[in-house]
Structure 1
Amino acid sequence: MEEMTEQERQLVDWLADMNEDDAIDLARRMLLEEGANPLRVLELCRAGMDIVGKRFEEGEYFLPELVLAGEMLETIGAIAKPLITHAPGEEPKKLGRVLIGTVHGDLHDIGKNIVSFMLDINGFEVKDIGVDVPVQTFLKEIDAYKPDVIGLSGFLTLAFDAMKETIAAIDGAGLRGSTKIMIGGGQIDETVRSYTGADAFGTNAVDAVSLCKRWVGVAA
């Protein structure tokens, strides 16, 4: 990420420190009064969320902080998204469909929300089916939505078994076909990817966007 101005650093700090009112006021002012680039503001939000994630891993933050961080992101996103401009008269064609959800037994949605958000602003049609999603719900949604990519999210280590179970069920129901499956969240690496049977894993939202672009044949 390029060098931050003092104001930008202030926004990241306030987001990371759970200073909700100040962070939202500053983001609103940057976007609506100062004409800041909305993608840049979203990038700052991501930087703030990265710090929140680290503090959570280190036991400094707990679930209520994660929930609040997600709410701040949603509020700022709602202001920033309509400001992302496309060429006049050009309604961007969606690159592909992504179905995303947090696997059963896991209630974390910050990472998932950030991934959904980043995919959305990068031109994908995203259907987010929430947290603690039972295997059967995934099967039903995949059958109805026919996604190009399925994203399974999970922050806790117990989510790895739920991911494995979900992917095995997708295979068993004959729903995998040409659909690619990516996993993300928490401590996910190649060993976990191999264990769950997913096609790939991402360590952050940028990875997820790159994977999806590659899979639908668009240069990342």
Structure 2
Amino acid sequence: MGKSTIIDEAIESIFKFDENAAIEIAKKGLNEGLDPIELLTEGFSVGIRKVGDLFGRGQVFLPELMLSAEVMKKVTELCDEAVRTKGSESRKKGLMIMATVEGDVHDIGKGIVISLIKTQGIEVIDLGRDVPVSKIIEKALSYKADLIGTSALLTTTLMEQKKLEDELKKHNVRERFKTLVGGAPATQRWADRIGADAFGEDAADAVKKALELLKLE
């Protein structure tokens, strides 16, 4: 089976939420010597971004997006393992810290964003939900992160994103990181107001902005 056929089938398997087909295609591609990063970025991730675009236009619904993200997670694990076995450095395109801010326990949207961003070869450290600003900064420094992403799903917790910007400046480490904000009440205007580097309107847009911030697109 040729490379182009495998890539096309990889895209289709994600688009159809077909976990068995996706895993079979991933194994087939790896067995035939395809680069795991290429298989992800040109194949599976194209499929998940198409689903994300359709979700943004209201043509695909949240359960379908979650199914696609779950399939994506499985094939990403396979390709990650292949990268580690191969000793390839091609996956190391940047490191991102991701957290739902303190006072907020919503996790679904963040999980989808993380799954999508990982498909682009970016390492993501998920700090979970209800995470204090102090911990976000501590982990960003200890991991030497390139990008900090925060999600706030409640208007009452939105101010935590501003607090992060303020604390980074207060500790003179703001210039070390790019920051990406998201969540239902967040907007581009909000990102501009607090001094964040970017706003992700939805999962697909968050991936696009992360790539732009890391100068990968």
TM-score scaled to structure 2, two decimals? 0.69
SS in 2 for 1:118: coil
RMSD of aligned alpha carbons: 3.8
Which of 146, 149, 152 in structure 1 is aligned with 2:149? 152
Corresponding letter in the other structure for 2:180: I
Q: 1:152 corresponds to which letter in structure 2?
A: G
Listed one character per residue, the Cα deviations across residues 99-124 of structure 1 (whole Å, up to 9, x for unaligned) are 1224534521222222245354xxx6
Give the whole-Å Cα distance in 2 for the aligned partners of 1:166 and 1:194.
Answer: 15
Q: SS of 1:59's equivalent?
A: coil
Letter in 2 for 1:191: R
Alpha-carbon separation, structure 1, partners of 2:7 and 2:178: 35
Q: Report the Cα distance in structure 2 between the residues aligned to 1:57 and 1:91, rounded to whole angstroms.
A: 33
Distance 1:197 1:73 in 2: 32
Give 1:30 deviation, angstroms: 1.1
Q: 1:182 to 1:13 in 2, by over 3 A?
A: same
The offset of 1:149, in angstroms, is: 3.7
Distance (Å, rounded) in 2 between the aligned partners of 1:87 and 1:72: 23
1:142 aligns with 2:137: yes
Alignment correspondent of 2:96: 98
Q: Which amino acid aligns with 1:16?
A: F
Unmatched 5+ residue regions in structure 1? 215-219
Q: Does structure 2 retain, via aligned residues, the 8 Å contact 1:135–1:169?
A: no
1:217 corresponds in structure 2 to none
In 2, the alpha carbon distance for the partners of 1:86 and 1:28 equals 14
Residue 179 of structure 2 aligns with an amino acid whose one-letter code is M
Distance 2:35 2:95 in 1: 26
Tell me which residue corresponds to 2:164: 170
Question: Is the CA contact (8 Å cut-off) linking 1:15 and 1:45 kept in structure 2?
Answer: yes
**Count of paired positions:** 199
**Residue in 1 aligned with 2:195?**
197
The verdict on how the C-alpha distance between 1:175 and 1:209 changes in structure 2, with shifts beyond 3 A counting, is farther
In structure 2, do the counterparts of structure 1 residues 22 and 184 end up closer, same or farther at CA, with 3 Å as the change threshold? Answer: farther
Q: What whole-Å deviation, never above 9, does each CA across 1:2-30 have from its counterpart, x for those lacking one?
A: xx823322221121111221122112111
Partner of 1:79: 78
Give the counterpart letter for 2:116 in structure 1: I
Per-residue deviation, residues 31-59 of structure 1 (Å, max 9, x unmatched): 12x11121121111111111211232233
SS in 1 for 2:58: coil
- The question of whether the paired residues in 2 share the 8 Å contact of 1:183 and 1:201 is answered with yes
Q: For structure 2, list consecutive stretches of 5 or more residues without a partner in the other structure.
A: none
Q: For residue 57 of structure 2, what is the aligned residue in structure 1?
A: 58
User: Residue 23 of structure 1 aligns with which residue?
Assistant: 22
Query: Quick one: distance in 2 between partners of 1:50 and 1:96?
Result: 19
Evaluate the alpha carbon distance shift between residue 135 and residue 119 of structure 1 in structure 2; reply closer, same or farther with a 3 A threshold.
same
- SS at structure 1 position matched to 2:60: coil
Contact 1:163–1:196 (8 Å) recurs in 2: no
Distance 1:194 1:160, change over 3 A: farther
Q: Could you say which residue in structure 2 is the equivalent of 1:8?
A: 7
SS at match of 1:113: helix
